[in-house]
Amino acid sequence: MGDEATTTGRQEAEDVGIDVGLAMCDVFKDLTGEERRTVERACRWLRLPAGHILFRHDDPPDAVYFVAAGLVRAFLPVDGLEVNYAQFGPGEMFGELAAIDGRERSADIVIVTDSVLAACPRPQFLDFLGRYPALALRLLVRLATVIRHSSQRIAEFSALTDVQRVYLELLRLANPDPSGDGRWVVRPVPLHKDMAGWAATTTDVVGRALGHLMKAGLVQRRQGALVIHDRRRLEIMAREVGNRGPAGEPLNP
C-alpha cells in the first residue's frame, strides 16, 4: 500500500528541496559514512502527501521506514475509536517490529504532513543488522525505549479513567508560558479528535473534560492557546485514584 506515491530513486526525492539522507537517524549514528550510504542506496525514497495511508495494521512487513522530512502517525482502530500509538518525525524510524518477527503490521500508518520517507526492504534491513553490530545495538536500545513507553501506556489505560487520560495528554502538550509567570500553555489548541486518539476515548469525553477544567478556572482558552493556571492541581487530578472532577463532578462523566 502506498506504491502510487513512491518516487523512483533518491534524486527525485531530493527535488522537493530537502537534504535527503539518513545521517539524522539515531540508529545510524555509530555507522561510518560509507556504511550509512550503503543503507541509503538500498532504500526506496518516497514522497507522500498528508492524509495518505502508508499501510494498514494487517499488511505484510515489506520494509522498515525512516522519516527524512515530515510527520507520520501510528494508530489502531479499536471499537470504533482511533487509538494513537506514536508519532514519528525527522530522524525517527518505524516498522521494525514486523520486519524483525515477520508478522503482519501492528498499527495503521497515516501521513500527517507532506513527508519524505526512506523504505529499506525487509531482507536488506535484516542483512544490515547482521553486518553492522553498531546498528543492531542502537536498534536494541530503541526497542527498550518502546517497551518502557508501552508499559507506561498500559498502566495508564488500566488504572486511569478516560478523563484522567485526557488530563495527562493536556499535560504532555503543555509548555511553560514564555512570560515566566508559572502558567503553562498548550499552543495551538489541539483538535478534540487528536486528543481523543491519544487518550483512547471519544471526542465527547474530551469536550466534557476540558469543559470541567474551564468551569473550575484551571484552564482558559486565550489567543489560540489553552492556558493552564494550576499545573500542580491538574497533575493531582490526572493521577489520584478516586479523585473527582473540578466542579465536584465525577472524573469520568
pLDDT digits (tens, 9 = 90+) for 9-51: 343 344 343 446 788 899 999 999 999 999 999 999 999 999 9
Residue 15 is given by DSSP the state T
Report d(CA 173, CA 185) in Å as an integer: 8
Report d(CA 132, CA 135) in Å as an integer: 5
Domain shared by 169 and 46, yes or no: no
Q: With respect to residue 249, please indicate whether it lies within any of the assigned structural domains.
A: no
Q: What percent of the chain has pLDDT over 70?
A: 87
Q: With respect to residue 252, please indicate whether it lies within any of the assigned structural domains.
A: no
Q: With respect to residue 248, please indicate whether it lies within any of the assigned structural domains.
A: no
Bridge partner residues of 220 (DSSP): 227
Domain shared by 105 and 224, yes or no: no
**Domain coverage including residue 231:** 160-239
Report d(CA 121, CA 61) in Å as an integer: 9
Assess whether pLDDT exceeds 90 at residue 124: yes
Report d(CA 26, CA 198) in Å as an integer: 25
Q: What is the mean pLDDT of residues 200-220?
A: 91
Residue 179 is given by DSSP the state T
pLDDT of residue 152: 79
Look at the chain and report how many structural domains it folds into.
Answer: 2
Full-model pTM: 0.68
State the residue for C-alpha cell 501492528: 106
Radius of gyration of the chain (CA): 21
Domain shared by 103 and 223, yes or no: no
The three cell numbers of residue 179 are 512570560
Q: What is the mean pLDDT of the chain?
A: 84
Note the residue count of the chain: 253
pLDDT band at 198 (very low <50, low <70, confident <90, very high): confident
For residue 129, give the 3-state DSSP assignment: helix
Which of 158, 181, 210 terminates a domain? The answer is 158
Assess whether pLDDT exceeds 60 at residue 84: yes
Assess whether pLDDT exceeds 60 at residue 243: no
Domain shared by 126 and 230, yes or no: no
Nearest Cα to Cα of residue 220 among 162, 164, 181: 181
Q: What is the mean pLDDT of residues 61-69?
A: 95
Domain shared by 131 and 227, yes or no: no
Q: With respect to residue 103, please indicate whether it lies within any of the assigned structural domains.
A: yes
- What CATH number does the domain containing 49 carry? 2.60.120.10
Domain shared by 223 and 165, yes or no: yes
Report d(CA 176, CA 190) in Å as an integer: 17
Domain shared by 26 and 84, yes or no: yes
Q: What is the mean pLDDT of residues 189-207?
A: 87
